[in-house]
Structure 1
Amino acid sequence: MDYHIEKDRTAEDVLGDMDLSGKRVLITGAGAGLGLETCRAIAARGAHVIGTVRDLAKGREAIAAFAGSAPGGVELVELDLASLESVRQCADALRAKGEPFDVIIGNAGIMAAPRETTKDGFESQFGVNHLGHFLLVNRLVPLLRSGSRVIILSSMAHRMADLDLDDPNFERRPYDEWASYGGAKTANVLYVVELDKRLRARGVRATAVHPGVVTDTALTRHMSPDDFQAFVNSERDVHHRNKSIPEGAATTVWSAFVAPADAVGGRYCQDCRVSEVNDSPIVSNHGPRAYAINPDRATKLWAISEKLVGEQFDF
């Protein structure tokens, strides 16, 4: 079966006339950028979307253009991934409703942030991009139906830096915003590897996605336009180009709704394809670095993450 989609297609192209009626989907960071486009594209096809946002008023303004006409409905819930208390409150509220999910998309994130800490004292990029999603998704596992999927957005930036499992919060080494971002995006892939291993017997699969280099999102708010362009131009493949937001959302919806679950479970995907390991040092090359999909390191990160968030997950 040829399930690949041409790499420069949009989320609209990938989903086509697919009917998602009856599907319930949770998306973090649904108020802007890739999360907003993903929300719009699947809501238009009948999925009931629950989007998390930090600011409910701004989130409602962002979805106003399409929420009223979305067949399945769109609702927003408040979530600050930089606060474990907020994560727990959000997860507890969703669990109290008891309504299952077919897909959870961990889309929210921060990039190249200056040295900051979350409300719980974690380095901000590791805390928001990995630990917040780790706690949220794991607490929501009881709501995942058999046949459901978890999609976590990573980045080709994981190729520039491994995660230091002995010092993930930069407590003993000098802080570098790109080493931090690369490590956090590596953590996203490692989390998917371990989560997929733990849940596949239940019929739940997890996938890591690189959406492409998408310049027109709030993710770049910590960088000047010149600095960001210098980053995307560095060591880039001559065949590589930046993507629009609709193109950037394509691999997310492809992995969540189009590709066979067994093909993408535990894998790293980009350009609507499963990518094979590529240990070239060139950051813009396709594929995950071997350290990002190492199962032993994935198991170790899981244990570290449980200790940091103060919870154990026995699944």
Structure 2
Amino acid sequence: MSNSRIATAALHPYSGDYVLFEIKYYFLGAGAIFDDVKNKKSNVCPLRNLAKTTAIVTGGSRGIGAALVAKLLQCEMHVIIACRNVDAGQRKLEEIRNMGITTGTANVYELDLMSFASIKKFASEVKKKFRAIHLLVHNAGIMFAPYRESEDGFESHWQVNHLGPALLTHLLLPIIEPSTKNERNFTPRIVSVTSCAHAAARQINFENISMKDHYIPSAAYAQSKLAQLLFAINLGKRLERASSKVQVHCVHPGIVNTDLFDGTLLKKTMPWVLTRICKTAEKGAVSVLHACISPQLDDKTGTYSSNCRIVEPGRNARSRHLRHRIFNKTLENLGLEHFGHLDAGWIVDD
């Protein structure tokens, strides 16, 4: 576990901003649930044989991540389950096997996105044992957490949902590139599980990323998800312009009843509502699986999808200016001069 620290922050649970974000979330949530119901029939993704390919799923020991691991094993992939608690990952893998899924192979590795040291250790271990990674799924995340700083000095949503996955991609990109030549003719992909909540964010607070002086958990979550989406779209375009075949996709899995809702007012007061109106983890994993393996995306990159359909993200996520700023800010936060194995002069997106 990382040595993250609780830090004091000015909390304003009844401020106008807090109420505004609550209203935004209710409207976004209602719209997303309507979309899940309306496009229920499109939320399907046939399995395909991807033997001799390797996938990494962060947060693969529970929720959507665990359901996705089961589906990738059914595709006969080798799956690396990356999670904070290795024992929990092993138990979940045993559960999957007990469900009758005997295909594919898997390992469980420790990964704590609240620690850059843990991310670097994980990436080093993976690169020692695997020559190529064909699929990297950024699934792990936190939502509506109280103010906390990582051992690296960043607010928890910003690090876990955005900086950590960006650093992991940077470290593993050199072995994702070689996987463009594989026996299954599978185009390698980097997939970020994001959220419609990105549309609630007020751009990015570049001058005060941590929001420590006026901290609202729902605002911090929305900002981190917008940053994650902006960065992924930018990376996809940059890789495309650099003639890389590695694809980058983002997916909103729907409103899924997972433990991310633990501690929220809705789950505390009316937990039965979530079971009736939300997707199951299984259904949410179908949306993610589509971004991971569907041949429909073979000639595309930098996409955002929901219910196995490419859709437009929120207005701020479409901003070219914000894409550039968040890419540069991310490099600054991570202390990097360039990204992946490509030098500082690689082509920018258009």
TM over 0.5: yes
Matched, 1:220 2:261: yes
> Counterpart of 1:169 in 2: which secondary structure?
coil
Pairing of 1:91-106 with structure 2 (within 5 A) = 91-106=123-138
Deviations 1:213-254 (A, max 9, x none): 011x12123324446869x99xxxxxx952111110111111
> Counterpart of 1:25 in 2: which secondary structure?
strand
Letter in 2 for 1:43: L
CA shift for structure 1 position 30: 0.4
Equivalent in 219, 243, 247 of residue 205 of structure 1: 247
* 260-269 or 103-112, larger mean C-alpha shift: 260-269
Percent identity, aligned pairs only?
A: 26
Between the aligned partners of 1:153 and 1:262, the Cα distance in structure 2 is 18
Q: Is the 8 A contact 1:212 1:248 kept in 2?
A: yes
In structure 2, the partner of 1:268 is 304
Letter in 1 for 2:140: A
Number of aligned residue pairs:
288
Q: Is the 8 A contact 1:67 1:74 kept in 2?
A: no
Matched, 1:65 2:95: yes
Q: TM-score, normalised by structure 1?
A: 0.85
Matched, 1:313 2:338: yes
Letter in 1 for 2:192: I
Letter in 1 for 2:252: H
Q: Is the 8 A contact 1:8 1:247 kept in 2?
A: no
In structure 2, the partner of 1:284 is none
Between the aligned partners of 2:74 and 2:298, the Cα distance in structure 1 is 26
> Counterpart of 1:249 in 2: which secondary structure?
helix
CA shift for structure 1 position 263: 5.8
In structure 1, the partner of 2:14 is none
In structure 2, the partner of 1:128 is 160
> Counterpart of 2:40 in 1: which secondary structure?
coil
Equivalent in 211, 214, 219 of residue 174 of structure 1: 214
Higher helix share: 2
Letter in 2 for 1:270: S
Between the aligned partners of 2:269 and 2:154, the Cα distance in structure 1 is 25
> Counterpart of 1:14 in 2: which secondary structure?
coil
Between the aligned partners of 1:10 and 1:127, the Cα distance in structure 2 is 33
Equivalent in 236, 240, 261 of residue 196 of structure 1: 236
Matched, 1:38 2:68: yes
Matched, 1:158 2:190: no
Equivalent in 57, 74, 77 of residue 47 of structure 1: 77
Matched, 1:56 2:98: no
Matched, 1:15 2:46: yes
Q: Is the 8 A contact 1:10 1:246 kept in 2?
A: no
Between the aligned partners of 1:302 and 1:25, the Cα distance in structure 2 is 25
Between the aligned partners of 2:269 and 2:136, the Cα distance in structure 1 is 29
> Counterpart of 1:308 in 2: which secondary structure?
helix
Between the aligned partners of 1:72 and 1:14, the Cα distance in structure 2 is 18
Alpha-carbon distance change, 152 to 10 in structure 1, aligned in 2, over 3 angstroms? same
> Counterpart of 2:55 in 1: which secondary structure?
strand
How well do the aligned residues superpose, as a CA RMSD in angstroms?
A: 2.4
Letter in 1 for 2:110: E
Letter in 2 for 1:167: N
User: Rg larger in 1 or in 2?
Assistant: 2
Deviations 1:150-172 (A, max 9, x none): 1001101111113223322224x
Q: Is the 8 A contact 1:21 1:48 kept in 2?
A: yes
CA shift for structure 1 position 257: 0.7
Matched, 1:111 2:143: yes
Q: Is the 8 A contact 2:135 2:190 kept in 1?
A: yes
In structure 2, the partner of 1:280 is none
Matched, 1:252 2:252: no
Q: Is the 8 A contact 1:210 1:268 kept in 2?
A: yes
CA shift for structure 1 position 24: 0.8
CA shift for structure 1 position 67: 4.3
Between the aligned partners of 1:248 and 1:95, the Cα distance in structure 2 is 30
Deviations 1:101-151 (A, max 9, x none): 111100000000111111211110111000000000111001112231110
> Counterpart of 1:70 in 2: which secondary structure?
coil
Q: TM-score, normalised by structure 2?
A: 0.76
Between the aligned partners of 2:42 and 2:171, the Cα distance in structure 1 is 31
Q: Is the 8 A contact 1:211 1:248 kept in 2?
A: yes
CA shift for structure 1 position 312: 3.0
In structure 2, the partner of 1:186 is 226
